[in-house]
A and B are shown apart, each in its own frame.
Chain A
């Protein structure tokens, strides 16, 4: 069971208080109606699937109910950083 640092409550809490919310830093396209099916499909369905570090969103559902970002190693499950929404990670380059 993971132990996660909530950047709003400023504390480590057990995984049971959180819900996982998928890959982080996915921006909704500005003009969906102008995209092709393939471009829209890319946004809808395609996700990174790294075996190393992964930037993902978690929600503190039993706590402050805020969404925040986490960078986690997909093999060891070690969490390298947690940071608020709208910020960028230090331990991972999310540009690709």
Chain B
């Protein structure tokens, strides 16, 4: 019997329809699946600085700013709500649990939700037109160049499906969507950009 496919993505079937090369001006929208990092949901009413005290490379004031994310030495942390974070990390879950220690056991939750999400990176010269059709959020001021320590991320609806969304560069955005919606999202993006203009990697 064959070995399990470690990255068995939700949109595997769609990746077979590559019709144009990247870098070609003809391409309107490029969609890449991003994988390799664990996604861990943390919830607690313990003060953030205390809760994350053992995490290295964190600017603790960033932990409480709504709609932001920041890097730390093993990945990044997204603030989803006043008492909820999402850690995206290369570490494994047991190591992460050790970092929280035993002090607050029972006062926080730590759940591995990696398989529940699909992360996509969108870029290309039709990105702006695609976002205008898919988002009701005003992403115009989403990433100001002055930001260095923390970056804006928002939870909103994309093609009527809830996503976590952030800009990764001037010309690209990332989004995190529930695995079960991933295929529909790709379908949405391909219908919005006619077949020749969409590349899925």
Contacts and interface: CB of A to CB of B under 8 A. Distances in A.
Given A62-B156, A63-B156, A64-B66, A13 B84 contact: no
Contacts of A17: 136, 156-157
Interface residues of B, number: 13
Interface in A10-61: 10-11, 13-14, 16-17, 61
B155 A8 contact: no
B136 A14 contact: yes
Nearest to A65: B81
A93 to B, nearest CB: 28
Contact of B67 (A11, A61, A65): A11
A64 B155 contact: yes
A66 interface: yes
Nearest to B136: A14
Contacts of B157: 16-17, 62
Nearest to B162: A62
Interface of A: 8-11, 13-14, 16-17, 61-66
Interface of B: 66-67, 80-82, 84, 136-137, 154-157, 162
